[in-house]
A and B are shown apart, each in its own frame.
Chain A
Amino acid sequence: MSQVLKNNHSALEFVYEFYLKMKKSKISLAYEGEITHQITKAFTALAESSMQREQDYTTVQKKVFHVMVECLQNVSKHAERDFNYYSSKDGRGIFLISKDEKEYNITTGNIIRNDKVESLRELLEKINSMTKEELTKLYKQQIREGRLSPKGGAGLGFIDIARKTGQKLIYSFLRIDDENSFFVLTSTIPRVKT
């Protein structure tokens, strides 16, 4: 790819197409790489100041902040490490924020092992099938009974996103090869006062 960008003509074509794609999808932030704690802090700070500028409701700002942190930490803690890169303390993946007048969409994409796909799919299906009351019950059960993983995950992230947004989680899995799949998750936060 770096070769593409070194050639004047193909660089222009590539960057302009990339630019148009981002514009068309109303993407306000796109990142691919390791999701470190510093990245999480930087992106949330960036989103906060942009939401303040646009005078989003405080409740919306808080929900976006919340969902961003949980999504970024999911990738940081659970994405399969890419062994082509040697600093692999944190998981890597793609992170996108898109927005229009009606809502914010927060999307993550990362590689996970095929043997983890089914249990993750089941968990997400279960969460999506639950009412607000059922989610609260599940949250309480998980916070009481769940143990913190060695990576510091409480098993509460998806439940919390579903509760805070009041929306279904949008997700899909793309099988890459015999070992890995690509997992995409989108959470939606309506820009309305709740």
Chain B
Amino acid sequence: MIQPLRIQGTDDTPTVILDPNPDSPRFEISGRSLPEDVVAFYEPILEWLDDYAKNPLPKTIFDFKLEYFNTASSKLLLDILLKLEDMYDDGHDVLVRWHYPEDDEDMQEAGEEYADIVEVPFEQVPYKID
């Protein structure tokens, strides 16, 4: 099994948890994304997913719970979704869950647009913020 990838979030980079432990799997990107160098930040994540796709769990649930991302990040988020789409095309069970604050129309729309672009099971999940 490949090693989990964990990246602690900062005020301009998201928290990333990619943990394929069969007992408690977690695949999640959350927080803010406006890294100084988007490619350098997302490259290890995309590489990790390439490795994982060779021998994935029976079901992969991938959670996006972003507060904010800039347009440069949006392109890289699509690259992640395209990798999940490839896994799904290869016959694996994949579900994307797009979490957005219930009053954030822009974040909701962003999820709907991604759902239109990639062919992968996609759930919109509104949440309340206190």
Contacts and interface: CB of A to CB of B under 8 A. Distances in A.
Interface of A: 37, 40-41, 45, 58-59, 62-63, 65-66, 69-70, 73, 136, 139-140, 143-144, 146, 148, 152-154, 156-157, 160, 164, 194
Given A143-B78, A144-B78, A148-B72, 8 more contacts: A62-B104, A69-B70, A136-B109, A140-B116, A143-B75, A148-B75, A154-B74, A194-B105
A65 to B, nearest CB: 7
Given A41-B11, A146-B75, A152 B34 contact: no
A110 B105 CA distance: 32
Interface of B: 11-12, 34, 36-39, 68, 70-72, 74-76, 78, 103-106, 109, 113, 116-117
Main secondary structure of the interface of A (DSSP, over half): helix
B68 A139 contact: no
A160 to B, nearest CB: 5
Main secondary structure of the interface of B (DSSP, over half): helix
B78 A73 contact: no
Nearest to B77: A143
Contacts of A41: 11-12
9 contacts: A41-B12, A62-B106, A70-B70, A148-B72, A148-B76, A152-B72, A154-B71, A154-B74, A156-B74
B71 A70 contact: yes
A160 B72 CA distance: 11
A73 B68 contact: no
A154 B104 CA distance: 23
A146 B72 CA distance: 11
Contacts of A69: 34, 70
Interface centre among B37, B75, B76, B78 (most CB of A within 10 A): B75
Contacts of B76: 148
Contacts of B74: 143, 154, 156
Closest 4 CB pairs of A and B: A156-B71, A37-B36, A154-B75, A154-B71
Nearest to A157: B71
Contacts of B75: 143, 146, 148, 154, 156
B115 to A, nearest CB: 11
Contacts of B12: 37, 41
A73 B68 CA distance: 15
B122 to A, nearest CB: 15
Interface centre among A40, A59, A148, A152 (most CB of B within 10 A): A152
A45 B32 CA distance: 13
A164 B71 contact: no
Nearest to A76: B36
B106 A73 contact: no
A152 B117 contact: no
A144 B71 contact: no
A148 B38 contact: yes
